[in-house]
Structure 1
Amino acid sequence: MPPSARILVSAAALLAATSSAFALDAPAGPLVTTDWLETNLGDPDLRLIEVSVDPGTFERGHIEGAQNVVWHTDLVDPVQRDIADRESFEALVQKLGIDEDSTVVLYGDNNNWFAAWGAWVFDTYGIDVKLLDGGRKKWEAENLPLTTRVASVAPSEIALPERDEALRARLADVLAVAKGGREGTIVDIRSPDEYSGKVFAPEGSQELSIRAGHVPGAINVPWSTAVAEDGTFKPAEELKRIYAEKGIDGSKPTIVYCRIGERSSHTWFLLSKILGYDVKNYDGSWTEYGNSVGAPIVNVSNTVWTGK
């Protein structure tokens, strides 16, 4: 081999080794820590996305390199009560610069409620994402830096498949389990007061049902049961024990619901991604079920809607 050829081969080998050494070393599991994220900020393969519920949260300050996704416009169909269709979601993902080699990390406020909902929507279109364990709460508690600079990324040309409806429960699926026509477990992740029918919805909520209570046979495990004081998920073995004590061990298909589908996404994420159970998210949740004609409910508090 001529000396010039040997130089070219050596240079190519060095470039390959250098690229490998600096490739994003993403954790194998569904979560990333604040330490890992801080270390890997700026990596070209990282796509960091904030999905927060409170308007202006992102604009007031966000993690360096993060892009903003607005749950009530970017992730939903503006005409139907539905999640975004394939064409709209594909355009969003392309704008975010996500491709097949990207490591996508989502985080947000409110203990990652809507970040988890975003993770569920991404998953329905075949994009596996990770959550920042503890979300904004933990990042801010550790006094890690925020910025108001908006990240600029080159758009991608990724093509998405049609939505995977297997990750989603519909009203008919919930009724089939509730009425005993199909095997399964239904998990109500709302507060005990919502579950019992004492309140129709959390204070200040605008999305309401004219009936209070829960789906017959649903097991109440509030979403917060799974969360540590710092906003992170409790260890997997502890989560497995907590849910097993409630009769939820992954042996049956599971449906989770809340009021509009965001809190239940948090439980969907831990049961499906952390524990590996077969779980569907019922995003219609109580605002659909509680308003549906002919849908049976349990209301131990005997509350009656008076129009106020």
Structure 2
Amino acid sequence: MAEYAHPEVLVNVQWVADNLQNPKVRLIEADEDVLLYDIGHIPGAVKLDWNVDVQNPLSRDFIDKEGFEKLLSKWGITNDTTIVLYGDKNNWYATYAFWLFKLYGHKDLRILNGGRAAWEAAGQPYTKDVPTYQETNYQAQPANEGIRAFRDQIFERLGDPGLALVDVRSPQEYSGELLHMVNYPQEGAQRAGHIPGAKNIPWATGAREDGTFKSADELRKLYEEKGITPDKDVITYCRIGERAAYSWFILTQLLGYQNVRNYDGSWTEWGSLVRSPIER
């Protein structure tokens, strides 16, 4: 993994197994299928339910700084804790959590390369025991919105050659053939298509069949062939920002791009805006 720009953000199964009793390490499972944790999880891991734990209950936004501090304090996490995130489906939601935790400034974040699938393939055990930890007094940083994009920032730069938009959804969603992903009608939009000028690089093309990340050379080629180069301001989007966070992780952590933001409003917002420009 030394080929990546920041190889330290990835750990393997053996590293996790060796650190299960390490009090300075906290495992967090973040799944698309929130029932998986209850079926079995890595010993010592806590559950992040994306629909409950990190959502503002009133506005479409994340929990604020104080809410984030309360959540991590409940899990016994300090500012010096090494947090290892993992989950199902190629770490889809684990990388979303990585992005959110970066938003609030946690320093030592890792991803278990391959997620749950890698742990299972190695024959490592699961448990149903839910751990409890002594509460801490976690102190978050003010939200770093330099890694987050908003609709007006995109409107202002449509057609700007220095801006590279990456639509990480499926080709069918990008083309407008599908209005929303199958089984996710609640995350649909009024119109189908994509933001003008956006390039389609589906998020899952960054993973190997076993769910681990492709090599740096493979990933670099994947993006540069579509004109997504390090000299540009890059914005990733999908439908609610979760798949886009996976691509944001690849670009910033594995390839070392300096100017990448995740537009978490994504297509559920853009596709429902009055007079928003759309291509098909």
Normalising by the smaller structure, the TM-score range is over 0.9
* SS of the residue 1:185 aligns to: strand
- TM-score, normalising length from structure 1? 0.85
- 1:66-90 residue CA offsets vs partner (Å, 9 max, x unmatched): 0011111111111110011111111
- 1:1-40 residue CA offsets vs partner (Å, 9 max, x unmatched): xxxxxxxxxxxxxxxxxxxxxxxxxx96211111211122
**Overall identity of the aligned pairs, in %:** 44
Structure-2 separation of matches of 1:256 and 1:35: 32
Gap regions ≥5 residues in structure 1: 1-26, 300-308
1:266-277 aligned within 5 A: 266-277=246-257
2:206 equivalent among 202, 226, 232: 226
* SS of the residue 1:111 aligns to: helix
Counterpart for residue 289 of structure 1: 270
* SS of the residue 1:50 aligns to: strand
Counterpart for residue 121 of structure 1: 100
Q: Which amino acid aligns with 1:290?
A: G
1:152-301 aligned within 5 A: 152-180=132-160, 183-206=162-185, 207-277=187-257, 278-299=259-280
Ranges of 4+ aligned residues in structure 1 off by more than 6 Å: none
User: Is this contact kept in 2: 1:177–1:185, CA < 8 A?
Assistant: no
Q: Which amino acid aligns with 2:167?
A: D
Give yes or no for the alignment of 1:47 onto 2:26.
yes
Give yes or no for the alignment of 1:149 onto 2:129.
yes
Q: Which amino acid aligns with 2:261?
A: K
Structure-1 separation of matches of 2:170 and 2:123: 30
Q: How many residues align?
A: 272
Q: Which amino acid aligns with 2:51?
A: H
Structure-2 separation of matches of 1:132 and 1:177: 36
2:85 equivalent among 97, 106, 116: 106
Q: Which amino acid aligns with 1:147?
A: T
Give yes or no for the alignment of 1:72 onto 2:69.
no
Structure-1 separation of matches of 2:189 and 2:97: 24
- 1:97-116 residue CA offsets vs partner (Å, 9 max, x unmatched): 11122110001112211111
User: Is this contact kept in 1: 2:79–2:139, CA < 8 A?
Assistant: no
**Structure of higher CA gyration radius:** 1
Greater RCO (CA < 8 Å, at least 6 residues apart): 2
User: Is this contact kept in 1: 2:167–2:236, CA < 8 A?
Assistant: yes
Structure-2 separation of matches of 1:66 and 1:169: 31
Structure-2 separation of matches of 1:177 and 1:193: 25
Structure-2 separation of matches of 1:185 and 1:179: 9
User: Is this contact kept in 2: 1:75–1:118, CA < 8 A?
Assistant: no
Counterpart for residue 120 of structure 2: 140
Gap regions ≥5 residues in structure 2: 1-5
